Structures are given as C-alpha cells and as structure tokens.
Amino acid sequence: MEIEYKGANCVVIKDKKILIVVDPTINVSVKEARNPDAVILATQENFAPSEMDAENFVIDMPGEYEHTDVSVRGIPARSHIGADEKAKNATMYRVETDGVRLAVIGHTVAPLSDDDLENIGIVDIVVIPVGGGGFTLDAKDAAAIVRQISPKIVIPTHYEDGHTKYEVLQESVDLFIKEMDCLHEKTPTLKVKSALNLPEVMTVYELSRTS
C-alpha cells in the first residue's frame, strides 16, 4: 500500500488491487481522481465531485462495499459543522486491502462513541484532519480520537501546509505532533508492504504534499 497526501483532507491510497481517492475537494488538484478506475471516498456527500465520470465508483454514505476484493465500510458520524448535534451526516471509512486495515476519520467530532469504535475495529493506519479553526478537529481532539483507536501509523491531514487554500485558517501540523508526543517521521509518501511491515510503536507520518 502507498499513500500520498494531496492537501486538505485528500489522500490517494493505492496498491496492486485498487486506487482510492479520499475527498478530492475543489481546493486540491488530484489527477488520480480523473482516472475512471479510481474509487472516490467522500466523508461528506458534498465532497464527491459532481462532475465525476460515471465510470467511477463513488462512495459517499454509510454502508458495506466490496470492490476488486477490497472491503470498504462506511460508518455514520456526526459532522463537525452542523445545526443538528444528533444528526450523523458525515461518514468515516474503514478500508481493508491485502491485510492492511486503514481508517479515514474526516470532519467529525471527538470523542468517538463506543459504537463508532466497534464499527472501526482494530486498524493499522488512521488518516485524520488536525487543523481546527472551527471547521474540523483540532490537535487536541484529533489526538484524543487517535488514542481511542490506537493504530500503529497516524497520517495527519487538513492543516496549514503553505499551499492549500482554506476558507478557514488552519493550524500547523506541529501542534498535533506536539499533542501526540510520540515518534514522528517526515516522508514524501508512506509505503507499507504488509501488516507485518508496521512500526512497533505508534508513529505519526507527516507526508509531503504532492500535486
């Protein structure tokens, strides 16, 4: 599995079975989203591009999905921004491919409920926004969710990276890294050969933004 960070909450996940693009919103440039074979995961319905080619497999709501032998579970979640505090109009995802288990959290709220944690289950990798600003999870709440899930690898997203344009000012990823107080590595992309190729202790991987 290889993971690239594209800015905002967008990551590209690919292996020999599948190409997944998470949240290809209008403020990021993602050439992979134009690939008709790409699977689009949208953590909110409005994050799925309306002009997407009909050949794409788009997932923007809770449910159980299978695509090219890859398992995707959409989990209903409370949106960070919403008038109804009880409404679950966001979606978290659990993806399992080649024995590697990954969770995409999206713009939800902390802490996660017991039901949320049961649906996510045990995962190896967590992708989570950390920029705050009232739009998404801030460093403290994102760290709280990560500790609830306890993965081996954490990939922060949606922070001030010097390139991505946001409607709301986002915090630096450094605040999240400080809050986590665990191992931290910078790398252009994350490559995980198998579930046996994971760090022994929880590690935050700060990925370079790519276009």
So what's the pLDDT on residue 54? 53
Distance between CA atoms of residues 27 and 73, nearest Å:
26
pLDDT value for 29: 87
- Distance (Å) of CA 37 to CA 147, 178, 184: 34, 38, 33
Nearest-angstrom CA–CA distance, 154 and 78: 21
Res 194: pLDDT: 86
Whether 43 and 107 have beta carbons less than 8 Å apart is answered as: yes
Phi, psi values for residue 181, rounded to 5°: 50, 50
The values of phi and psi at residue 93, to 5°, are -130, 145
Predicted pLDDT of residue 52 = 53
* pLDDT recorded at residue 86: 64
Ranges in the chain, pLDDT < 50: none
User: Residue 195 has what pLDDT?
Assistant: 85
The Cα–Cα gap between 93 and 99 comes to 16
Contact 7/23 with Cβ under 8 angstroms? no
Strands of the 39-41 sheet, one edge to the other = 57-59, 39-41, 19-22, 10-14, 2-7, 190-191
- What is the pTM (predicted TM-score) of this model? 0.95
